[in-house]
Amino acid sequence: MMIPSQSYSFNGIVVITLYFISLFSFFLHTLASPTVHRCRHDQRDALLEFKHEFPGADMNFGRFDNMRSWNKSSDCCSWESVTCDAKYGQVISLYLLGANLNNTLKPNSGLFKLQYLQNLTLSGCNHSGEIPFTLGTLSHLTYLDLSFNKLVGQVPSTIGNLTKLRYLSLSINHLSGKSSVSFANLTKLIQLDITENDFEPELIPDMSRFHNLEEFWGGNFFGPFPTSLFTIPSLRWVNLGDSNNNFTGHIDFGNSSLPSRLFYLSLADNNFDGPIPESISKFLNLKILDLRNNSFSGPFPTFLFKIPSLQWVTLARNNFKGPIDFGNTWPSSSSLISLYLADNNFDGQIPESISQFLKLGTLDISNNKLQGNVPGCLLRLSSLQLSHNSFSGFGKSSQVLDQAQMQVLRLESNSFQGPFPHWICQFRSLEFLDLSNNSFSGSIPLCLRNITYSLEVLNLRNNNFSGILPDVFLNATRLYTLDVSRNRLEGKLPKTLINCTSMGLLNVEGNKFKETFPSWLGSMPYLYILILRANQFYGPLYHLHESTWFQHLKVIDVSHNDFTGSFPAFYFSNWLQMTTLNLEIDVVYYEYSIIWDDYGYHNFRPYTSSMEIVHKGVDTEFDKIRQDFTSIDFSSNKFYGKIPESIGLLKGLRFLNLSGNAFTSDIPQSLANLTNLEALDLSHNQLSGQIPRDLGELSFLSTMNFAHNNLEGPIPRGTQFQRQNCSSFMDNPKLYGLDDICRKTHVPNPRPQELEKLSEPEEEQVINWTSAAIAYGPGVFCGLVIGHIFISHKQEWLMEKFRRNKPRVVIRSAR
């Protein structure tokens, strides 16, 4: 974890799309060439013994060789990863990073015969089991890095014998017990990292004894602000963020002089409250300040911005309030690159004085109460996120546009109005544009085609744009979300959309598009979600059922249009994505890029793309979290004929709405094969025959609606049926057995006309399909002085975390 010496920083914003993360990125480190001195035989034998304890040790990941070169025919001092003492040939350093030590380290391991070891790195080695107590015998160790493995159990107290240790990292393992055991007596430590383990919560010990401490990454601590830490003059880097800390109370730096070299301070994700003390501005070398996600309050901490070195600040997710005010002291933090103020209660306008922060690259003020114009100088940033405020316009943008580097522009949910801001067409690096939920009007300009090459997300939802959707997508090969829903667009969908080969979500709901079914969209290889709802599309659903079209479709909503036609029996036979039960496919592929800023912070508010599906009469328990969903909504069109039996092949289907059409004949028995079905609406058709009894066996099926058909016979007995509302069976004159169901609602034996009345007040219910945000909070995972490997490690680890917390689909009933 702690790999000093190399300095690495991101140049600009790096965008890493999930799919392109190389598993082995952290093996890219090139090793220093080994020294060439005669190896002592006892040392050689110990090394080989150690190697043989790990059967996979010869495996070569990427460019990383590690232990492959270890054999008797060569000088052990020339082996990869091994460094010997120049004079006596004793092994003094073993540097195994990313080796395949896929086993437990035994107390009698050959490793412990290397009694002269000073530096030991076993990091990212997939190393499991407990740390053996014999580690305490390596009494010359000054550097010990066991990070990023799968170590478990308590840290043996013998580690306290390693009194020469200056660097200790145990981070990213599953160690338990009390962490302080591991370091309490190691007062010579310069760097200490115990984060991301399963240690039991503990009061942080008195840190003032660690006279040389420069870097401290603490985890699983609680209690008041650790003032003792800030009495250490050498302190440079403090991270008490993330990692299950739960500190409370006010920040209190005490009365002693503050460590003047401190340049990194993270207190994120704790329960600190109160104002930030003005004394913080005495950290004259502070570069990075992370106070995210606490309960800090008070006005905007103007004094903070007197710190000249400050580059990266987040005050997001606290209770700050009042106007943003940088004061008029000059020079102020003119090094500032990123400023995050989101999710507070700031109000007023963004002061023009923000322009004095010449290097500012990222500004996130989302979700406050700001208003007025957005200063034009902000348009030169690379990431500007102002969503969920009350901004209404833009100041003069002057010349800054010439060098525009904007990559992320999020203005959603404000009070902007007027025409599409044309200067956006000059942002040739723009990847993410969200103008949704404003009152922009007029046409969508053709000049957009100048920037669609780089665009990945374009969201214009819920504005007043009118006219046609112009043909701007010829080069939009990276675009994976296009949402122009709820505007007043008309005409046909532009044919250049076909060139959007990355498209995953296309939503044009609630416009006035008028044409036949755009079946050519079916050639987009990754289209998962297609929403054409509430337009004036007409004619049959050509090609939808053909095996080579719409191969990845998982959600289709063509409801409330003028589609017509009947469906042949085999219609659903080729809908591959919906026939599978293994629903591990990443529906969310199109949703997220991870954007890192200069410091490797996750520079992006979680993005939510939501679709709403109005579904008549379906009572829901949709407040569940789903990994995935599939849905077909053909409701309120003019389809007719038999519902095809092949519908029973769509085993992954969760939601089926065919209501409000003119389907006739029987309900297909095969519906009972849809074992994942949660909601079924067949109401308002001309269906006849009996309700298939086996539908009662579908254990997830919580809501059904058969009202307004010509169904007959008994309502099946199953509990799924008995749980339905009375109204779900309305207006089927020959259907009987309603008594039990309707009694639930305290309506004794309703007569048909009463039933009709009962069904009247039933409102259209909005089912809100929301693809939820990435579930984990952004974390600290790199810094200025840390090497490349370190960053890659953390990224790898983060990706792990990401995979575990896969973005999920939340289906919510909006009632």
Distance in angstroms between the alpha carbons of the first and the last residue of the chain? 48
If one asks whether residue 187 binds ligand NAG (CB under 6 A), the answer comes out as: no
In whole angstroms, what is the distance from residue 313 CA to residue 363 CA? 10
Q: Tokens 């080989």 — which residue?
A: 48
Regarding 630 and contact with ligand NAG (CB under 6 A), the answer is no
Q: Which is nearer to ligand NAG, 302 or 496 (CB)?
A: 496
The first and second tokens of residue 28, run together, are 């890219």
Distance separating alpha carbons of residues 125 and 50, to the nearest angstrom: 14
Contact window for ligand NAG (CB under 6 A) among 340-348, 403-411, 442-450, 630-638: 442-450
Map the footprint of ligand NAG across residues 408-427, applying CB under 6 A: 425
Q: Using the rule CB under 6 A, give the single segment among 155-163, 559-567, 700-708, 797-805 that binds ligand NAG.
A: 155-163
Nearer to ligand NAG, 304 or 809 (CB): 809
Owner of token pair 């309960």? 295
Shortest distance in whole angstroms from residue 811 CB to ligand NAG: 10
| Site string (73-112) toward ligand NAG, x via CB under 6 A | xx--------x--------xx------x-x----------
Q: What tokens were used for 707?
A: 């009202």
Supply the Cα-derived Rg of the chain in whole angstroms. Answer: 32
- In sequence order, which residues have a C-beta less than 8 Å from that of residue 184 and are 6 or more positions away? 160, 205
* Residue 664 contacts ligand NAG per CB under 6 A: no
Q: Of 15, 181, 258, 775, which one interacts with ligand NAG (CB under 6 A)?
A: 181
Rule CB under 6 A: say whether 669 interacts with ligand NAG: yes
One residue of 279, 281, 673, 675 binding ligand NAG per CB under 6 A: 673
Q: Which is nearer to ligand NAG, 4 or 254 (CB)?
A: 4
State which of residues 104, 134, 158, 580 lies at the interface with ligand NAG (CB under 6 A): 158
Size of the site for ligand NAG (CB under 6 A): 48
Is 305 in a helix, a strand, or coil? helix
Under the criterion CB under 6 A, does residue 366 sit at the interface with ligand NAG? no
Span interacting with ligand NAG, options 179-187, 251-259, 394-402, 727-735, rule CB under 6 A: 179-187
With binding defined as CB under 6 A, does residue 56 bind ligand NAG? yes
User: CB within 8 A of 397, min separation 6: which ones?
Assistant: 376, 379, 423
Of 352-360, 448-456, 727-735, 777-785, which segment contacts ligand NAG by CB under 6 A? Answer: 448-456
814 binds ligand NAG (CB under 6 A): yes
When asked if residue 398 is in the footprint of ligand NAG (CB under 6 A), the reply is: no
The answer to whether 224 and 249 have CB atoms below 8 angstroms apart is yes
Between 578 and 617, how does the x/- string for binding to ligand NAG read (CB under 6 A)? --------------------------------x-x-----
- What are the tokens at 90? 């004793």
Residue number with CB closer to ligand NAG (375 or 779)? 779
Using alpha carbons, select from 545, 449, 536, 564 the residue that is nearest to residue 500: 449
Could you tell me the smallest distance in angstroms from the CB atom of residue 206 to ligand NAG? 13
The yes or no reply on residue 209 touching ligand NAG (CB under 6 A) is no
CA-CA distances (angstroms) from residue 135 to 112, 127, 155, 252?
A: 7, 15, 10, 38
Contact 177, 200 (CB under 8 A): yes
Pick one of 185, 279, 285, 580: the residue that binds ligand NAG (CB under 6 A): 185
- Find the Cα–Cα–Cα–Cα dihedral 699, 701, 706, 712, rounded to 10°: -10
Please give the residues from 752 up to 771 whose contact with ligand NAG meets the rule CB under 6 A.
766, 768, 770
State the Cα–Cα distance between residues 415 and 439, nearest whole angstrom. Answer: 7
Please state, in angstroms and rounded to a whole number, the distance separating the CA atoms of residues 807 and 711: 41
Which residue lies nearer to ligand NAG by CB, 648 or 737? Answer: 648
Q: What angle do CA 135, 174, 228 make, to 5 degrees?
A: 80
Q: Is 119 in the site for ligand NAG (CB under 6 A)?
A: yes
**Which residues ranging from 639 to 658 are in contact with ligand NAG (CB under 6 A)?**
648
Residues 484-523 that bind ligand NAG (CB under 6 A): 498-499
> How, if at all, do strands 809-813 and 624-626 pair?
antiparallel
CB of 364 to ligand NAG, least distance (A): 19
The 3-state DSSP class for residue 614 equals: strand
- Tell me: cis bond preceding 331? Omega within 30 of 0 counts: yes
Is 388 one of the binding residues for ligand NAG (CB under 6 A)?
no
Residue 560 tokens, joined: 């409330």
* 353: contact with ligand NAG by CB under 6 A: no
747-750 long-range Cβ contacts below 8 angstroms, 24+ apart: 750/726
Pairing of strands 481-483, 457-459: parallel
Residue tagged 């939820």 (tokens): 772
Q: How far is the CB of 38 from ligand NAG (least distance, A)?
A: 15
Residue 573 touches ligand NAG, criterion: CB under 6 A: no
Q: Write b or e for each residue in 213-227: b if 16 or more Cβ atoms lie within 10 A of its Cβ, otherwise e.
A: bbbbbbbbbeeebbb
The 3-class secondary structure across 640-708, one letter per residue, is EEECCHHHHHCCCCCEEECCCCEEEECCCHHHHHCCCCCEEECCCCEEEECCCHHHHHCCCCCEEECCC
User: Contacting ligand NAG (CB under 6 A), which of 6, 7, 60, 71?
Assistant: 71
CB nearer ligand NAG, residue 670 or residue 759: 670
Does 481 bind ligand NAG (CB under 6 A)? Our answer is no
Contact positions vs ligand NAG (CB under 6 A): 4, 56, 69, 71, 73-74, 83, 92-93, 100, 102, 119, 126, 128, 136, 143, 157-158, 160-161, 167, 181, 184-185, 246, 248, 271, 425, 446-447, 449-450, 453, 474-475, 498-499, 610, 612, 648, 669-670, 673, 766, 768, 770, 812, 814
